[in-house]
Amino acid sequence: MKPASPLDVRLFDDVPILCAPFPPQIHVEALEDPAERNASLLAGLLQPRACISPKHLYDAQGCTLYGAICQLDEYYPTRTEAAIFARHRHEIADLLPRHCQWVDLGCGDGAKAFDWLEHVAAARYVGVDIAEDWLRDTLERGAKRFPDAEFVGIVTDFTRPLSLAHVLDAVDDYTPVMFYPGSSIGNFEPDEALALLRAMRRHLGRDGRLLIGVDAPKEPARLEAAYDDALGVTAAFNRNVLRHINRTLGTDFEPAAFAHRAVFDRERSRIEMHLVALYPQTVTLGHAQRRFEAGEFIVTEHSYKYAPERFVELLSQAGFGRIDRFSDERGWFNVFLAAPAGALE
């Protein structure tokens, strides 16, 4: 059933009046409970090759630093994707359903999505993010900017099964468009990425669409510079995760005792971000201790880079049919618009 418009007209003594917009709604779904989260963090740190899930990079300080990274000269993905969107916006919009519900996956501040809403006459915005406070701010700003659209938020963790159907299916007049920019899909291992794409496909029904940004392989020096800038902003972003873990787990990491490193693994076509111990040290991890020798490292992020044909194959395996690709003149970054298989047959 279609909900009332955010600018709802009702009758009072047979006189129509314009009601105030409905406040944005937030649903909390599929999050780890604190005990589960802490156990997972400790398990990763105690592995022979220590690791931290990249989702832990994005506490409040991490989000601020990431915003600064996106403005750096070396960090080409954000501005390259933005240029593709700007150049092809009308062409892409013509291929999208009108009056859709725009599902902004990993929405952050919503800025990338907000540029699209008026072009597709979106009737509903569904922001999806792990950070509830950030999401609430995004919804409130969006509702002020687009008073004729409904704004809904879902707090969830993409490392868990994607569960959005109860929110998307609450309205039957708005076709979903899933929007996943920024090459965030690259942070997942390929089998995890395929599982997430399949989950997206299930949420789209027959007529929905997926609009997704994907970084492409290029020379290692260019890639490594994007993840290890000269100003050291990415290094601060990476080391900040140790401060976050100290607060979360009560550990005693010394962030300054670890160096940031970004390396491109050509065989796996991925950037790896590491925190490298500068000297031998022992860290208390709950009831355990972990010895880090000089040069030993913690893996904090993988960012896979997909050649266009490889990502088209992944989309096909996930159940998508027609796939349109939009790129920049250098082929550094690709945007894919994918329709479920059979949708246009």
pLDDT at 21: 52
Q: What residues does each domain of the chain span?
A: 26-30+71-218+306-340, 34-69+219-304
Q: Which of 150, 91, 87 is nearest to 117 (CA)?
A: 150
Which amino acid does the sequence have at 190?
P
pLDDT at 34: 85
CATH number corresponding to 26-30+71-218+306-340: 3.40.50.150
Contact in structure between 106 and 182 (CB atoms under 8 Å): yes
CA distance 298 to 47: 10
Query: Tell me: the pLDDT tens digits for 52-67?
Result: 999 999 888 998 999 9
pLDDT at 343: 62
pLDDT at 132: 85
Low-confidence ranges of the chain (pLDDT < 50): 1-20, 345
Give the rounded distance of the alpha carbon of 43 from its chain centre. 24
DSSP code at position 35: H
Residue 255 makes CB contacts below 8 A (sequence gap 6+) with: 239, 240, 242, 243
End-to-end Cα, the chain, rounded Å:
27
pLDDT at 201: 96
